[in-house]
Amino acid sequence: MKRTLLALALTLVGAFAAVAQQSNPLPSWSDGPSKRAIISFVEAVTKPGSTDFVPPAERIATFDNDGCLWVEQPIYTQAFFIVDRMKALAPSRPEWKSNTLFSAVIEKGLAGLSGVSEHDLAELVAATHGGMTPADFRALVSDWLATARHPRFNRPFTELVYQPMLEILDYLRANGFKTYIVSGGGVEFVRAYAERVYGIPPEQVIGSRAKVAFETKDGRATLTRQGSIEFIDDKAGKAIAIEHIIGRRPLAAFGNSDGDLEMLQWTTQAGGRRLGMIVHHTDDVREYAYDRESSVGRLARALDQAPKEGWTIVDMKSEWNVVFK
Amino acid sequence: MKRTLLALALTLVGAFAAVAQQSNPLPSWSDGPSKRAIISFVEAVTKPGSTDFVPPAERIATFDNDGCLWVEQPIYTQAFFIVDRMKALAPSRPEWKSNTLFSAVIEKGLAGLSGVSEHDLAELVAATHGGMTPADFRALVSDWLATARHPRFNRPFTELVYQPMLEILDYLRANGFKTYIVSGGGVEFVRAYAERVYGIPPEQVIGSRAKVAFETKDGRATLTRQGSIEFIDDKAGKAIAIEHIIGRRPLAAFGNSDGDLEMLQWTTQAGGRRLGMIVHHTDDVREYAYDRESSVGRLARALDQAPKEGWTIVDMKSEWNVVFK
């Protein structure tokens, strides 16, 4: 009886999945090469009996976040957060006045960030992101996201997510994929909104990490974010983190910059049917147009290697019927 | 139509789950305090409308591996692997002869490991576990597990897993829990058999980690395990890794030694209904009896703190009807 019920249930779930799959799954995509590449890939790896068939448990897809799932211009969203945190904390940190970098950011805002080195950025993150529990940090980010607005679009950052990419996330999940974010941004920063906005739970968010200390205070265990960065999840770090944390080679990877090059290589060079996809920002009317010369989200080496590697380049301007959610 | 099919399917899946749940879920457990504690906990957090109800997505349970899911005496299984690797590699590494530690292990086997420091152990791991891809390492472990046998029980190590704990894994998963291993052992070592033996997929295995390097050779991306340990997933490291990788505080944690103390604290001090459980090895006839004085799996501080923290102590001798699978 149990087995019969289960078999019936699974058959119906399968039937539902098949129906869902057949209806137009990617309405915001024009009928161009990228949409065809995605659908062809998904059909190949999910069709039972196909030589490319992959069991559901092994269907892993990884997505860069900044510039791949949401807007990253004129600068990463987390940089806006840093500026606002610096300003909010400045009155209680008089010692920051004697720090050239910090006072530039406090006085000039984003302009104070232009041309800062990676080392400077790490210092800013350390000064503003530490000294609290991961849960408190996530709550802080969540509160900030509720009111902060993008300077050009005057909308909350969480509305500046790409509708066509949300549809890919949904389409892959409807076909048994587990979708991961693999971001250069802070893991707790992304977790603050990933579940609500992308449907991606905390355990499927991989990102850069602050050092965290465990302490027992009055017999209570606490974790406290420290003022230093332990791991930068970018470039080779993305492939390494995927192996450490997921322990499977992805079937599909989505990126938009040279920071995603190693993740794309690691994914598509694994043998078997794979999908590598690069969102090319070509639409300065609806969003932004940038690649080789951009200081944020530079795309040069990955663009050069794409043809040889068989990666699909998404032309945002012609292939996305809508950009934002 | 789609919605109707889905609703029907989900109802049937729910009915099946309910049937599975009602039949005796933990047959290898005596009707003692531990079994009652587990069932009471699971019923409380899964019953819709209960004040302790937790949505399925947040149902995370973490398990130590050595001594909690499989045997860890007379020494960790990974130590047997190290000894066999040293012996296998020795002919091609003549320089090892001049290393006192290495030659002791090669000549005396496990006896050569007695009393070695953590630093020594790290050196042994570095010498035997590096210089290959994570996938090749996993294959090596898998091949070794297929033939290696436990010296006392003369059975493969993968058969020396605890049947009562397998039943807890199944019972939790049938009730919507995601089950994780959080082990002091190497993450790739555990992944080599966790899916087949425990039903735990690679992305739900957290463990100690070798440093891994990304390289491009002839245009091909490769990951290579280095001869150094990057992270030891023990004690406070377990709580930190849970936050980094899962990003949710577990509802239930299972351990057996002081290495699990911080994971148990982090889990059960979170507020709301939680379960902390310690497997106490009290059966030297069917398995082993050890706690405060053992060099492997020492259990002293966690045992002392258990009453105050409300952790359940499993008395293996009286509560487990069978020990091994």
Question: Are B95 and B33 in the same domain?
Answer: no
- Residue B115 has a pLDDT of 81
Which of A10-14, A139-143, B66-70 shows the lowest per-residue confidence on average (mean pLDDT)? A10-14
Query: pLDDT per residue over A132-184, tens digit each?
Result: 999 999 999 999 999 999 999 999 999 999 999 999 999 999 999 999 999 99
Question: Are A46 and A110 in the same domain?
Answer: no
Instruction: Enter the tokens of residue A211.
Output: 């050092």
Is residue B166 within 8 Å of B36, Cβ to Cβ?
no
Nearest to B278 by CA among B26, B29, B34: B34
Q: Is the pTM value of this prediction over 0.90? A: yes
Residue B7's φ and ψ, nearest 5 degrees, are: -60, -45
SS3 B296: coil
**How many residues are recorded in chain A?**
325
Judge whether A272 lies within some domain: yes
Beta bridge partners of B209: B231
Among B203, B305, B311, which would you mutate to test the A interface (most chain A Cβ atoms within 10 Å of its Cβ)? B203
In this prediction, residue B13 has a pLDDT band, given cuts at 50, 70 and 90, of low
Judge whether A217 lies within some domain: no
Asked if the model's pLDDT at residue A265 lies above 80, the reply is yes
CA distance B132 to B223: 8
Question: Are A57 and A106 in the same domain?
Answer: no
In this prediction, residue A9 has a pLDDT band, given cuts at 50, 70 and 90, of low
Give the ipTM: 0.92
CA closest to B203 among chain A residues: A246
Question: Are B116 and B231 in the same domain?
Answer: no
Mean pLDDT of chain A: 93
- Residue B85 has a pLDDT of 96
Query: pLDDT per residue over B286-300, tens digit each?
Result: 999 999 999 999 999
Question: Are B95 and B184 in the same domain?
Answer: no
Is residue B264 within 8 Å of B241, Cβ to Cβ?
no
Query: pLDDT per residue over B71-125, tens digit each?
Result: 999 999 999 999 999 999 999 999 999 999 999 999 999 999 888 887 888 889 8
User: What is the signed CA dihedral for B73, B77, B79, B80, rounded to 10 degrees?
Assistant: 100
- Indicate the pairing of strand B289-290 with strand B275-282: antiparallel
- Cβ contact B223–A209 (<8 Å): no
DSSP state letter for B177: P
Domain that holds residue B36: 20-74+153-319
Question: Are A277 and A200 in the same domain?
Answer: yes
Among B8, B214, B216, which would you mutate to test the A interface (most chain A Cβ atoms within 10 Å of its Cβ)? B214
Query: Which segments of B141-203 are extended strands (E)?
Result: 178-186
Interchain contact A196–B (C-beta under 8 A): no
Question: Are A82 and A65 in the same domain?
Answer: no
Instruction: Enter the tokens of residue A234.
Output: 């970018």
- Residue B99 has a pLDDT of 94
B304: closest CA of chain A, how far (Å) = 13
Q: Output the 3-class SS for chain A.
A: CHHHHHHHHHHHHHHHHHHHHHCCCCCCECCCHHHHHHHHHHHHHHCCCCCCCCCHHHCEEEECCECCCECCCCCCHHHHHHHHHHHHHHHHCHHHHHCHHHHHHHHHHHHHHCCCCHHHHHHHHHHHHCCCCHHHHHHHHHHHHHHCCCCCCCCCHHHCEEHHHHHHHHHHHHCCCEEEEEEEEEHHHHHHHHHHHHCCCHHHEEEEEEEEEEEEECCEEEEEEEEEEEECCCCHHHHHHHHHHHCCCCCEEEECCHHHHHHHHHHHCCCCCCEEEEEEEECCCCCCEECCCCCCCCCCHHHHHHHHHCCEEEEHHHHECCCEC
- Residue B122 has a pLDDT of 82
- Indicate the pairing of strand B220-231 with strand B312-315: unpaired
CB–CB contacts below 8 A, A to B: 118
- Residue A1 has a pLDDT of 41
Interchain contact A266–B (C-beta under 8 A): yes
- Residue B218 has a pLDDT of 85
Question: Are B69 and B81 in the same domain?
Answer: no
pLDDT, greater one: B20 or B63: B63
AA identity, residue A171: Y
Judge whether B39 lies within some domain: yes
* Residues of chain A contacting residue B203, judged by C-beta atoms under 8 Å apart: 60, 178, 245-248
- The CA–CA distances, whole Å, from B229 to B126, B208, B226 equal 7, 8, 8
A280: closest CA of chain B, how far (Å) = 23
- Cβ contact A16–B1 (<8 Å): no
Asked if the model's pLDDT at residue A221 lies above 80, the reply is yes
Judge whether A5 lies within some domain: no
B283: closest CA of chain A, how far (Å) = 32
Question: Are A83 and A70 in the same domain?
Answer: no
CA distance B41 to B275: 7
Question: Are B59 and B83 in the same domain?
Answer: no
Beta bridge partners of B215: B222
B240: closest CA of chain A, how far (Å) = 7
Asked if the model's pLDDT at residue A203 lies above 70, the reply is yes
Instruction: Quote the number of domains for chain B.
Output: 2
In this prediction, residue B227 has a pLDDT band, given cuts at 50, 70 and 90, of confident
Instruction: Give the domain-ending residue among A112, A147, A182.
Output: A147
- Cβ contact A205–B247 (<8 Å): yes
Judge whether A223 lies within some domain: no
Question: Are B100 and B205 in the same domain?
Answer: no
Query: pLDDT per residue over A181-198, tens digit each?
Result: 999 999 999 999 999 999
Per-residue pLDDT, averaged over A76-89, amounts to 95
Mean pLDDT of chain B: 93
Asked if the model's pLDDT at residue A18 lies above 90, the reply is no
Asked if the model's pLDDT at residue B221 lies above 50, the reply is yes
- The residues, ordered by sequence, that sit 6+ positions from A37 with a Cβ below 8 Å of its Cβ are A275, A277, A312
- Residue A87 has a pLDDT of 95
Interchain contact A287–B (C-beta under 8 A): no
CA distance A194 to B232: 29
User: From the list A9, A239, A265, which residue is nearest B16 (CB)?
Assistant: A9
CATH number at residue B209: 3.40.50.1000
CA distance A255 to A182: 9
- Residue A3 has a pLDDT of 46
Interchain contact B174–A (C-beta under 8 A): no
Asked if the model's pLDDT at residue B193 lies above 70, the reply is yes
CA closest to B207 among chain A residues: A244
In this prediction, residue A105 has a pLDDT band, given cuts at 50, 70 and 90, of very high
Question: Are B286 and B240 in the same domain?
Answer: yes
Judge whether B145 lies within some domain: no
Per-residue pLDDT, averaged over A27-34, amounts to 97
Interchain contact A188–B (C-beta under 8 A): yes
Interchain contact A20–B (C-beta under 8 A): yes
Is residue B180 within 8 Å of B241, Cβ to Cβ?
no
Query: pLDDT per residue over B151-178, tens digit each?
Result: 999 999 999 999 999 999 999 999 999 9
Judge whether A256 lies within some domain: yes
Quick one: CA dihedral A50, A54, A55, A59, positive or negative?
A: negative
- Residue A2 has a pLDDT of 46
Is residue B250 within 8 Å of B60, Cβ to Cβ?
yes
Judge whether B115 lies within some domain: yes
**Rg (chain A; Cα; Å):** 21
Among B136, B235, B245, B248, which would you mutate to test the A interface (most chain A Cβ atoms within 10 Å of its Cβ)? B245
Tell me whether residue B307 is exposed, middle or buried, using C-beta atoms within 10 angstroms of its C-beta: 0 to 12, 13 to 18, 19 or more.
Answer: exposed
Quick one: CA dihedral B265, B267, B270, B273, positive or negative?
A: negative
Per-residue pLDDT, averaged over B185-206, amounts to 98
Per-residue pLDDT, averaged over B194-223, amounts to 96
Interchain contact B22–A (C-beta under 8 A): no
Per-residue pLDDT, averaged over B44-71, amounts to 97
